């Protein structure tokens, strides 16, 4: 049988015009330049790709049908798939035209049937989840693209997240970018397959719903700072490091001066203030959590994290997305990739 809903058209609206969706957005040489932050006028520009889970599952269905029932049955299934895409693409176009004309129920076709619901999928995993959350530079652009195309009445977003955390500024900015989806009225689900700790969990707390796999590591709500002090070694070598400051606390703990008790206490006070902001954010997002019990820097495995109220359900991101497809939704994975840089 035909797997899931057979739709692939993605209607992106730029400047009031319809922008047809496909497996990959057309070359950006022919499209308006994306926002800055990727080298300005450099010729190598990022490309936005949108891939359909629905189509991928249909490919699997065709392959298994051919292997188990033969080429004739596979051809029949292919015909159904193509007809399904054609019909549902027409509904998307009709819905877009109806909305443009200002008709009541702009997200519905001329026959009054609601356009298919969509799930936009983002990823913050391998290659993006480093100490400084450098992947936020791509994530912000992907979020902008989704907000430009999505309709709160029919769309929601899933972020596949795996991160052990890192800097306050990097992961704080990543969380702020995710809040833009909420501000746009889009429901956000965050799916954690391996780890969401410290700043990674801060990102997760922006979600309406958090799921994780049974053995994912969750939590680490705390703040840490580590600093090598080489003052004594420099002193033995006859090296004196001189720093001039204006402001009592412009420098407290540094590797190059002898720390005082006052320096240590001021640094500890600053860390506590950061933790207080972290705790308040988690508590606001998940008010049922006993914040004093979980804000200890500890981590919990999936089922124990659920007991603590840190996550809502136990399942993998793959199971979640397959459920959406089986529920008749378009599942569209959005990714921005940097174009290869010439070594010349």
Q: What 3-state class would DSSP assign to 146? A: helix
Q: Is the dihedral of CA 181, 183, 184, 186 positive or negative?
A: positive
Q: What is the distance between the alpha carbons of residues 138 and 126, in angstroms, rounded to a whole number?
A: 13
What does the buried/exposed string (b/e) look like for 98-114 if buried means 16 or more CB atoms within 10 Å of the residue's CB? bbeeeeeebbbbeeeee
For residue 30, the 8-state DSSP code is G
Active-site hit among 11, 52, 123, 198: 198
End-to-end CA distance of the chain: 51
Q: Could you confirm whether 76 is annotated as catalytic?
A: no
Q: Could you confirm whether 285 is annotated as catalytic?
A: no
For residue 246, the 8-state DSSP code is S
Q: What is the distance between the alpha carbons of residues 169 and 165, in angstroms, rounded to a whole number?
A: 11
The C-alpha angle with vertex 82 and arms to 80 and 86, in degrees rounded to 5, equals 115
Active-site hit among 101, 250, 288, 342: 250
Beta bridge partners of 51: 333
3-state secondary structure labels for all residues of 324-341: HHHCCCEEEEEEEECCCC
Which H helix or E strand runs over 50? strand 47-52
> Residue 54: how many CB atoms within 10 A of its CB?
26
Q: What is the distance between the alpha carbons of residues 221 and 197, in angstroms, rounded to a whole number?
A: 7
Is 330 in contact with 155 (CB distance < 8 Å)? Answer: no
Is 38 in contact with 50 (CB distance < 8 Å)? Answer: no
Please compute Rg for the chain using Cα positions. Answer: 25
Active-site residue list:
198, 250
């Amino acid at each position: 049988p035909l797997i899931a809903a057979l739709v692939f058209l993605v209607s992106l609206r730029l400047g009031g015009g319809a922008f047809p969706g496909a497996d990959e957005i057309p070359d950006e040489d022919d499209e308006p330049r994306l926002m800055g932050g990727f080298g300005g006028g450099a010729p190598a520009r990022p490309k936005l790709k949108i891939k359909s889970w629905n189509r991928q599952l249909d490919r699997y269905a065709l392959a298994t049908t051919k292997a188990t029932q033969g080429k004739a049955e596979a051809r029949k299934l292919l015909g159904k798939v193509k007809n399904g895409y054609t019909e549902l693409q027409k509904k998307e176009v009709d819905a877009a035209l109806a909305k443009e004309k200002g008709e009541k129920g702009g997200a519905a076709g001329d026959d009054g049937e609601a356009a298919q619901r969509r799930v936009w999928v983002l990823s913050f995993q391998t290659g993006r989840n480093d100490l400084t959350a450098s992947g936020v530079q791509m994530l912000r652009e992907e979020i902008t693209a989704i907000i430009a195309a999505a309709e709160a009445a029919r769309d929601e977003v899933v972020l596949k997240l795996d991160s052990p955390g890192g800097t306050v500024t990097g992961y704080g900015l990543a969380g702020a970018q995710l809040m833009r989806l909420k501000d746009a009225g889009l429901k956000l689900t965050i799916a954690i397959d391996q780890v969401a700790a410290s700043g990674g969990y801060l990102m997760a707390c922006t979600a309406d719903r958090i799921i994780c796999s049974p053995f994912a590591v969750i939590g680490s709500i705390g703040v840490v700072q580590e600093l090598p002090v080489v003052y004594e070694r420099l002193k033995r070598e006859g090296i004196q490091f001189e720093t001039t400051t204006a402001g009592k606390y412009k420098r407290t703990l540094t590797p190059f001066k002898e720390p005082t008790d006052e320096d240590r206490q001021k640094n500890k006070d600053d860390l506590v203030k950061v933790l207080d902001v972290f705790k308040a954010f988690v508590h606001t997002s998940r008010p049922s959590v006993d914040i004093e019990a979980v804000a200890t820097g500890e981590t919990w495995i999936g089922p124990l994290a659920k007991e603590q109220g840190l996550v809502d359900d136990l399942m993998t991101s793959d199971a979640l997305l397959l459920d959406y497809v089986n529920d008749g939704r378009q599942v569209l994975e959005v990714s921005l990739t940097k174009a290869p840089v010439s070594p010349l």
